[in-house]
Structure 1
């Protein structure tokens, strides 16, 4: 996939599952639930040592049906390993210039976590594809989006945290580009994940 194609898929889907799993089998169950509910973007967190294995297995099983990326990528070494495993995008809780350069070299969208306008602008100037509002989106909620988009309407924003089935409609009413969702799309049975994914998706099609 080309960089723009990946970004377009993420923005079109609007919802990204943030996945931390200890086994490939559980990752497959989550993937099945997300797909059945209309969510085809999954971030596999490098907080666990098997992240590369999970990314590779999901890519092999689902191909282009899913857009699989790497999360919690703190350094360029991890970013390169993630890309070699098949990650189509790279997300981090922080901004790191070396990671940004490496991702741009291989045309992989990079989405760093930023907390201030200065940090966000510097990341965009360096080539970040989207700004992850972390951890501030969990604190400020949907009101964060117009606050950031008023001075920077062209800045793509990925929220991380703070999204529930009760408030997702409020998020959908903002100009958010994508919302990252954890436990709603990773806990429970495959059927429960499917239902949660459907409700989240319906908020953006209402």
Structure 2
């Protein structure tokens, strides 16, 4: 996918690389060098979670200063979150669960959404609103690869991005499944490396993640 300036589709977000980094930033000064380090390793779709007071400012910095990155907002829990994220420069959104209000807001904003689901009923609700590319969260705690295998029968038209408990140790097991397009993980941006400004380590982790095989 060419990065360009238009918002990607949810499918483009999921297919760009095998891993979407789940990023928690505590310092705005880390946002740009972190994003550049990930892009240098081949990871362009960056999920900055709205879990800290500086998250929106970090999204804005990355959107303005790292043109090769496609920055999105994670932990979107309301329509207001989606609106604030887009105003900051986010080009896609990821939610930890799904409600109609979030789906409608992202649709109206033209913002691709990966809605979080953990049950069949949540999948049906997201599908009813037109969402076919979903985040399985918390993946490991909600049943892991076995749950995704079970869902492949009744929901064989859905692609998943498992997130939550995914690591280098089990990412391959998830990525080998036919209904998994990518995984989400925080291991690409370890807190100690970010705090030290060890951007070379993050680039290395990103490069390793970008080479993971997919089904």
For normalisation by structure 1, the TM-score amounts to 0.89
Q: Do the aligned partners of residues 205 and 135 (structure 1) sit closer, same or farther apart at CA in structure 2, a change above 3 Å counting?
A: closer
| Structure-1 separation of matches of 2:7 and 2:24 | 26
Q: Distance in 1 between matches of 2:172 and 2:163?
A: 16
Q: 2:33 aligns with which of 14, 29, 34?
A: 29
Matching of residue 185 in structure 1 with residue 178 in structure 2: no
Give aligned pairs, total.
Answer: 204
- Work out the CA distance in 2 between the residues paired with 1:178 and 1:43: 13
Instruction: Within 5 Å, give how 1:52-63 maps onto structure 2.
Output: 52-63=56-67
| Secondary structure at the counterpart of residue 203 of structure 1 | coil
1:118-157 counterparts in 2 under 5 A?
A: 118-128=121-131, 130-157=133-160
Q: Is the 8 A contact 1:157 1:178 kept in 2?
A: yes
Task: Provide Cα deviations, 1:93-119, integer angstroms capped at 9, x if missing partner.
Answer: 121211110110122111222111111
Secondary structure at the counterpart of residue 204 of structure 1: coil
Q: Structure 2: which 5+ residue stretches go unaligned?
A: 1-5
Q: Tell me the TM-score normalized by structure 2.
A: 0.86
Aligned residue for 1:42?
46
Q: Which residue of 2 aligns with 1:163?
A: 166
Write the distance in 2 (CA, Å) between the matches of 1:119 and 1:142: 18
1:66 corresponding residue in structure 2:
69
What is the aligned partner in structure 2 of residue 51 from structure 1?
A: 55
Alpha-carbon shift at residue 205 of structure 1 (Å): 6.7
What displacement does 1:21 show? Answer: 0.7
SS in 1 for 2:207: helix
Whether the aligned pair in 1 keeps the contact of 2:138 and 2:165 (CA below 8 Å) is no
Compute the displacement of 1:71 (Å). Answer: 0.9
| CA 86–129 in structure 1, closer or farther in 2 if over 3 Å, else same | farther
Shift of 1:143: 3.1
Distance (Å, rounded) in 2 between the aligned partners of 1:9 and 1:109: 8
1:68-124, Cα deviation, whole Å (9 max, x unpaired): 111111111111111111111111112121111011012211122211111111112
Aligned CA-pair RMSD: 2.0
Q: Which residue number corresponds to residue 89 of structure 1?
A: 92
**1:33, CA displacement in angstroms?**
2.2
Cα pair 1:139 1:162 within 8 Å, conserved = no
SS of residue in 2 equivalent to 1:184: coil
- For the residue of structure 2 that corresponds to 1:162, the secondary structure is coil
